[in-house]
Amino acid sequence: MPEYKVCTQTHGPSSLPRHPRPAARIRPDTETRRYCPPTPTFPYPSEARDKSRTPKRPYPSEARDRMPPSNAPTRAKRGTNATPHSLLHPFTPSPLDSPEQSEGQMSHPIHSFTHSLLHPLISIAQIGLGDIAQKAYLPLLATRADVEPWLCTRDTAVLEQLSRQYRIANTFPSVREVIARRPDAAMVHSATESHADIVGALLDGGIPVFVDKPLSYSLIESDRLLQLAAQRGVPLMVGFNRRYAPLVSALRRQTNPLQVTWHKNRVDLPGEVRTFVFDDFIHVVDGLRFLAPGPVEDLNVHARLRDGRLTNLQVRWRTGETLLTGGMNRVSGRTSETIDYHTPGQQCTLHDLHSGVHYRAAERTDLSFNHWTPTLEKRGFVAMIDDWLEVVRRGNHDAPRAADIRATHALCETIVERIELGDTMGR
């Protein structure tokens, strides 16, 4: 009887969950490689085996037809490094060429799963499991090998549903119970009105905190939380995902832009002045500050209100020799976001964070992503989570980051005050 050699090649995609399989066997005495996949086993002992779900074992000839030839090129796996540097910006060096990076910039986005295998497990409590947490943060954290997600919400139905969906065992109905269990870090996705109490309690307990923007509707409350983080020596990070969007972070590599314009529009959504500015327009303010950091000079604010609700807001200021303009029309004909970035001899226009056009000497280059690139990566959430986990691993308070957070909130507070004092058009 001939000997059998071990073959580790796997057989095609499977509709079942991924799990370790026994090695297949190859007969060395035949010219044709014959592959007979073993009958799959279920990964969870408690799960009853459903024979209807077990795929039929193919005949050897069928398996042979499905196997790629030995000289076939390797196909890129879905989800790996979705943004080739050549698509980031034609007038910037490859992110791989420069080891330096600033806050909000990833030198090159590494696939989170591969990257996560290099680091120990971190327990992160997600507090407030609303729309943004379920769409953006939980799907990313729950698939990382270096993160142990905890769930916290007062809504018991949501808590049970997400616990079952993501197979997360650590669930809590209150922030007090989370603090008592001492996670490595916490992410707060609750309503802005609750940020001051929740973030304050976590920082007071010595737990690093990531919080969705804004930190608070009040600059006084924001200052209190920033000071508390400094006193406790605990990291505090505010989630401005646009800084980490690959097409936006590539612009930051340029120096001394002539002018930057950022417009973010919505359809029929006027709002109260303070919530309008701190909940939504803060993206425009922080994005402009990120692309052209420095002191704000010659600030002009123009607002239009209807029945006491803000419908249109335009701001302009100067930083050094750079002119920055930001706008938001909440009664627009469509939802859109456009960034115009001008340097001597060049112009770059980005649309909705996932496409753009670059011009140099009247020559046009389109900027885009691979079709398989996930939306969360295009919008900066993947790189932002990577940065947040590095902040947690370092574990120390970052004074420059805190000062940057305050500068964005302080500028928003100034804009609100200007509007309330009557520096508006069309009241």
**376-392 pLDDT per residue, tens:** 999 999 999 999 999 99
The separation between CA 365 and the C-alpha centre of its own chain, rounded to angstroms, equals 26
Q: How far apart are CA 332 and CA 315, in angstroms?
A: 17
Is the residue at 295 inside a domain? yes
CB atoms within 10 A of CB 199: 29
Q: What is the domain-level CATH number for residue 186? A: 3.40.50.720
Average pLDDT of span 273-280: 97
pLDDT (0 to 100) of residue 47 = 38
Instruction: Tell me: do 108 and 219 sit in the same domain.
Output: yes
pLDDT at 43 over 70: no
What is the residue type of 86? S
Is the residue at 58 inside a domain? yes
Is the residue at 221 inside a domain? yes
Instruction: Tell me: do 280 and 415 sit in the same domain.
Output: yes
User: What total of structural domains would you count in the chain?
Assistant: 3
DSSP 241: G
Instruction: Tell me: do 235 and 254 sit in the same domain.
Output: no
Q: What is the DSSP string of 182-201?
A: --SEEEE-S-GGGHHHHHHH
Instruction: Tell me: do 53 and 194 sit in the same domain.
Output: no
The per-residue pLDDT of the chain, averaged, comes to 80
Q: How far apart are CA 355 and CA 299, in angstroms?
A: 30
What is the residue type of 338? T
Q: How far apart are CA 105 and CA 246, in angstroms?
A: 8
Q: How far apart are CA 9 and CA 271, in angstroms?
A: 58
Is the residue at 271 inside a domain? yes
Instruction: Tell me: do 288 and 333 sit in the same domain.
Output: yes
The structure tokens 């490094």 sit at 81
The structure tokens 């779900």 sit at 53
Which residues fall within 8 angstroms of residue 150, CB to CB, at 6 or more apart?
Answer: 123, 124, 125, 126, 168, 170, 171, 172, 178, 181, 183
Average pLDDT of span 362-374: 96
Instruction: Tell me: do 195 and 260 sit in the same domain.
Output: no
pLDDT band with cut points at 50, 70 and 90 for residue 120 = confident
Cα three-residue angle 197-415-423, rounded to 5 degrees: 140
pLDDT band with cut points at 50, 70 and 90 for residue 117 = low
Question: If 0-12 CB within 10 Å is exposed, 13-18 middle and 19+ buried, where does residue 393 land?
Answer: middle
pLDDT by residue (tens digit) across 407-418? 999 999 999 999
β-pairing verdict for 122-127 and 24-26: unpaired
Q: How far apart are CA 359 and CA 365, in angstroms?
A: 6
Instruction: Tell me: do 175 and 276 sit in the same domain.
Output: no
Instruction: Tell me: do 251 and 154 sit in the same domain.
Output: no
Percent of the chain with pLDDT over 70: 71
214: preceding bond cis by omega (within 30 degrees): yes
Kindly report the three-state secondary structure assignment for every residue of 98-157.
Answer: CCCCCCCCCCCCCCHHHHHCCCCCEEEEEECCCHHHHHHHHHHHCCCCCEEEEEECCCHH
Is the residue at 219 inside a domain? yes
Is the residue at 165 inside a domain? yes
Is the residue at 425 inside a domain? no
Domain interval for residue 45: 1-68
Q: Comparing C-alpha atoms, which of 415, 375, 50, 404 is closest to residue 236?
A: 404
Instruction: Tell me: do 416 and 275 sit in the same domain.
Output: yes
Is the residue at 180 inside a domain? yes
* Cα dihedral 27→28→33→36 (10° resolution): 20
pLDDT band with cut points at 50, 70 and 90 for residue 424 = low
Instruction: Tell me: do 230 and 263 sit in the same domain.
Output: no
pLDDT band with cut points at 50, 70 and 90 for residue 255 = confident
pLDDT at 337 over 90: yes
CB of 122 closer than 8 Å to CB of 210: no
Q: How far apart are CA 18 and CA 15, in angstroms?
A: 9
